[in-house]
Structure 1
Amino acid sequence: MNVKLSLVTFSALLIFVFSSCKKNSPQDSGIKPSDPTKQFKVIVLGSSTAAGYKLAHPDLSFPNLLNNKLIKDKKNAEVINLAAPGYTTYQIMPVRAINLNGRPLPDMLRSIEAGLKYNPKLLIICMPTNDIALGFSEDEILTNYKIIVEMLNRANVEYLITGTQPRNFIEDSYRRRLTILNDELLEAYPGHVVDYLEELATNKNNIKDKYSNGDGIHINEDGHKVIFQKIINTPLFKDVFEYE
């Protein structure tokens, strides 16, 4: 009886897990369809910053700025933005790495697996503060990145990881963790991390007024311009798209 009950419970859990991950289609989720005329794809996985949340002009989000630059420079490329507000590194994990210990489930349409289906020339991950805000440890955050980066390496896909960004946490310890995680990412993935924390942050890791959207969490258009400039100036980005 116990064995039967365990099997029933396990089956119900699997149904819940996969139904929680399921979406109808990319278009139903607000993901723009890929342009078949563009040979090269840049995929962005991320949270509210990458999604351009709360911007007065969404076209000025850093993914859109990148897309416009690639079009202007005739690089035969497009940026496909899979970011969603509130997401963490757990939502972009491969589905097989589901963690049932109270952590978010992967989103099958916005995960690393979804991104790799586009056969991207470059993949950008932007998860700047939500993992810390939800109390995830540096070890588990870095473990998630390790799994994702290993998948990228196996697929021979170049990648950039944006570092952390300032956030007006009440607790000073959370603001200190932004620097700790940023430094650990820089050490773990040299040449692949876009570092802009210091430029956007006060000495206490709050958002500088000129880059603040006013809620203490999100950055404004000027902040997105900083991220955009940092990305296009990285040697890896220049190499991938053959900029001098």
Structure 2
Amino acid sequence: MDDQAPAPFVDASRASIARVYDYLLGGKDHLEVDRRAADAVRAVVPEVGQIARDNRAFLRRGVTYLVREAGIRQILDIGSGLPREDNVNEIARAIDPGVRIVYVDNDPVVLAHARALLAVDDQTAVVTADLRRPGELFDEVAAVGLLDLTAPFAALLCGVVHHLSDEDDPAGILAAVRERLSPGSHLLLSHFLDDGRSRAYKLEVAFLHGGLGSGRFRTWEELREYFRGLELVEPGLVYANDWRPDATTHVESPVRTLYAGGIGRKR
């Protein structure tokens, strides 16, 4: 990494998705504007931080399955967020040190942190790209040369797609992602769930209008569409905490019905 690279520009007037999640997870990389946005949703559902923790736990279990059971050795983490102590590369390589990972994000602060952390890791790369332009994203990843996208790999969309607006056409974006999956590849996805109760609607309003500006709660039907044409891995698309829970899973989470997750395989 270039030691002379300029510091990333930080707009302190706007909340960042990555920094809001960092705050909810108990991290240190956030600003006052991020804390205000997070507190706006906390005022509606005080346990909302548990959704962020449940999401990280689902990611850990999902990556463990992909590497240990599905035999995946290439991972594309789209919308990776700020690095934490349980990064995808750490989870995967605890099982097999040969797993290769490409992290993708469009937040300059996230990218700067990730590149600093992974500067000496030749099995990991960091790419600047935007999920809203999936064709460009996959082209950028292919250009790096670390992953062989003609061989099986896992694409992770963990807590990302619910930050796409309806106008972004998330179903179309997911169709484009599925099209780029090679046979034997897997798609891991987790998403806010509209469970038909009023607090899902109130939380969505708080996410959209409380300072963050994004965060859509979608129905089971909408989420199933994102896996169209893929073979769902057991137990299918379920509440995230019900996806292969282990001894550390918070199965009695007070926000269990507000978050869903699943993994699909392309034949």
TM bin, normalised by shorter chain, reads: 0.3 to 0.5
Q: TM-score, normalised by structure 1?
A: 0.44
| Greater helix fraction, Structure 1 or Structure 2 | 1
